Amino acid sequence: MDKYIVNKADAVLLLIDLQEKLMQAVYSRDEVIKNVNIMIKAAQIMGIPIVLTEQYPKGLGATLPELKQNAGLFHYIEKVKFSAYVPEMQDVLAKINRRTVIVTGVETHICVYQTVRDLTANGFGVHILKDAVGSRTEENYKNGIQLMSEIGAVISNTETILFDLLKTSSALEFKQISALVK
């Protein structure tokens, strides 16, 4: 049951390739952006580190400005591999010494899936926010979610993770976090 528990002291928020050209084609674009922004704000409130990746930004553009500017301080990784679990990511994760990765991003069935596969294979607990990941088609999205579930990632959603991180309504951050989802 431990894999289903998320603790803020051991969590990191991963934003995978939420870039201009990729996001134009995502079928659930608005929902993904809304929920990623909620998670960014929550991570800042709770002191959870944020890692942001960009896949070949020369060709695919930068991370959406409305996400990047809200992310504040973050660890940045530029990549050309589909999996974000590249040596730079491994270094960042080793430095921040956290073993639970909360995953958002695109595309669910490519970069998100391959990253989750590699994180899981390397002993990380992985939680997918199914309302904060997206693909160009619903079929590809569903396939990516299914694959990640089959390899052992926990499939969750933004509100479930937020309130699991809080644990109790007496948490100092409760009012700020609950206001994000109203």
- CA atoms of 20 and 103, how far apart (whole Å): 19
Separation between Cα atoms, residue 33 and residue 66, nearest integer Å: 8
Catalytic pick from 79, 118, 130, 131? 79
> Would you call 142 a catalytic residue per the annotation?
no
Q: Tell me which of 2, 3, 8, 17 is the catalytic residue.
A: 17
Annotated catalytic residue: which of 8, 68, 111, 118? Answer: 111
Is 2 known to be catalytic?
no
User: Which of 65, 19, 75 has the alpha carbon at shortest distance from 43?
Assistant: 75
Q: Cα dist. 165→12, 39, 43, 181 in Å?
A: 11, 11, 10, 14
3 belongs to the catalytic site? no
Euclidean distance between CA atoms 35 and 120, whole angstroms: 23
Catalytic residues: 17, 79, 111
